[in-house]
Structure 1
Amino acid sequence: MLYMLDTADLKAIERAFDLYPMSGVTTNPTIITKEKRDFLSILRDIRSIIGKDTMLHVQALSKTADEIIREAEFLNESIGGNLYIKIPVIPEGIKAIKMLKKRGIKTTATAIFTAEQAFMAVNAGAEFTAPYVNRIDNISGNGARVVEEIVRLFEVHGLDSKVLAASFKNVEQVHRVLLSGAQSITVSPEIMDRLLAHPLTDWSVDRFISDWEGVYGKGKLTNNLY
């Protein structure tokens, strides 16, 4: 299971990578623009935090295969490391994925709303496919079911690719997607925290400490009792 953080907020990235078992960072044009800084500087700062071997997913903006390829080569040269170029599953995007596969540049197919879109992207050479779970739910679909169908298609046809489920608004959506077999998820810093949060966990910890201090004294720990 791969956890990725969907943000370009450097402080949030530093915190998540310090606390949690993170595997990478994903970005998109909307996320990048929220930082209101130079584009390459943001990405290079993220790379410096997470290291060269950790996955970083960056989206191309072009709508033609030739331009997408030029963007991909530029980003690969400018940022480096374990980089994945995110490409929407439009016809020119599928063409670009095929061509980039031959050039050894890794890709993540994005803006996926159906299992067939993911299936075609993987056959073109995408290493990851990113279905938009909450956006599917918002149009009266079932995001978790789409993820399950994608996973099943990959298994049936022996395809070596991973589902990178994206677009979440709550923990329940993440839970359903994980049960559906997704190999990876990308979530906001807020949802990453909520995956671990529960009021009874906090209550239990406070109770343990209260009971301990009632006998051994405030501030006393197992390593400084003696």
Structure 2
Amino acid sequence: MLFFLDSAKLDEIEYAIKNWKIDGITTNPKHLMTAGMKMDEFIKKIKPMVEGTHITVSLEIDPHLQDPEKMIEQARNLATLSENFVIKIPATEPGFIALEKLAKENVKVNMTLIFNVLQALQAAKLGAYYISPFVGWKEERGDFDKDFIATIVKAVKNYGFKSKILIAAVRNLKHFEEAALAGADIITAGFEVYKRGFENPYVKLGLEIFCDAWQKIQ
């Protein structure tokens, strides 16, 4: 499984690349707003950080766009800026129309806002590079489905599609467990989610016990 960082904060991205050997970056307009950057500024700064590496950066088109041709035009323009860029297109009917054409042009598309099997299969059939089911958004609104990740993964892999399944909107370590056991290809999570996982309180407890013992035997 590949680990992606869900962020647009350059300090977080730099830290995750250096210390966690993160495999990719996912962004969206909300992350850019939180980071206090416009898309152009973010692209200018992230490009030299990932070029020459295997790290992909998922950039989202303008969410206002409803015309497939305008979606395609913006996606093309973003994709030409770097081989590392994967373009996020929403799982709407216009989005699927855009996906089909972009995939035929070998533009890497991350089909985002996937919430059911039909969306996932359509994205896979039309050639999405990544398929991004959103987990946390459903649970936060009371729509809990313990089999959601496993169902999406099984449905897509059942037919041998090449699309990679990227579990998104991850909020906790349970989501990591569910994604790994289901056989998802990638998981993307925020900086603090990773920190909570790496800095497990039981590790801290164990170190305190061992440090105390170490002092007593010296």
Q: Same fold (TM over 0.5)?
A: yes
Given that residues 106 and 126 in structure 1 are in contact (C-alpha distance below 8 angstroms), is that contact kept between their aligned partners in structure 2?
A: yes
Q: Write out aligned runs for 1:38-117 (5 A).
A: 38-53=38-53, 54-61=55-62, 62-78=65-81, 80-117=82-119
Q: What is the aligned partner in structure 2 of residue 13 from structure 1?
A: 13
What's the CA shift for 1:18?
A: 1.8
Tell me: CA distance 1:209–1:48, structure 2 relative to 1, closer, same or farther (3 Å): farther
What's the CA shift for 1:144?
A: 4.8
Aligned residues: CA RMSD: 1.8
Normalised by the size of structure 2, how large is the TM-score? Answer: 0.90
Normalised by the size of structure 1, how large is the TM-score? Answer: 0.87
What's the CA shift for 1:213?
A: 4.8
What's the CA shift for 1:3?
A: 0.5
Tell me: CA distance 1:144–1:29, structure 2 relative to 1, closer, same or farther (3 Å): farther
Given that residues 168 and 187 in structure 1 are in contact (C-alpha distance below 8 angstroms), is that contact kept between their aligned partners in structure 2?
A: yes
Partners of 2:134 and 2:103 in 1: CA distance: 23
Q: Which runs of 5+ in 2 are unaligned?
A: none
How many residue pairs match? The answer is 215
Q: What is the aligned partner in structure 1 of residue 165 from structure 2?
A: 163
SS at match of 1:34: helix
The one-character-per-residue Cα deviations of 1:49-92 (angstroms, maximum 9, x if unpaired) are 233431110011222211111111211223x0321101011111
Partners of 1:138 and 1:106 in 2: CA distance: 30
Instruction: Output the amino acid matched with 1:18.
Output: K
Given that residues 127 and 161 in structure 1 are in contact (C-alpha distance below 8 angstroms), is that contact kept between their aligned partners in structure 2?
A: yes
Instruction: Output the amino acid matched with 1:42.
Output: F
Partners of 1:99 and 1:8 in 2: CA distance: 28
Pick from 192, 195, 208: which aligns with 1:193? 195
Instruction: Output the amino acid matched with 1:43.
Output: I
Structure number with larger C-alpha Rg: 1
SS at match of 1:49: helix
Tell me: CA distance 1:143–1:99, structure 2 relative to 1, closer, same or farther (3 Å): farther
The one-character-per-residue Cα deviations of 1:16-55 (angstroms, maximum 9, x if unpaired) are 1122131100001111122223422212312322334311
The one-character-per-residue Cα deviations of 1:91-141 (angstroms, maximum 9, x if unpaired) are 110011110111111001001110110110110110111111011223443
Q: What is the aligned partner in structure 1 of residue 179 from structure 2?
A: 177
Partners of 2:140 and 2:211 in 1: CA distance: 44
SS at match of 1:166: strand
Tell me: CA distance 1:198–1:37, structure 2 relative to 1, closer, same or farther (3 Å): closer
Percent identical: 26
Instruction: Output the amino acid matched with 1:57.
Output: S
Partners of 1:193 and 1:14 in 2: CA distance: 15
Partners of 2:156 and 2:27 in 1: CA distance: 25
Instruction: Output the amino acid matched with 1:29.
Output: P
What's the CA shift for 1:215?
A: 4.8
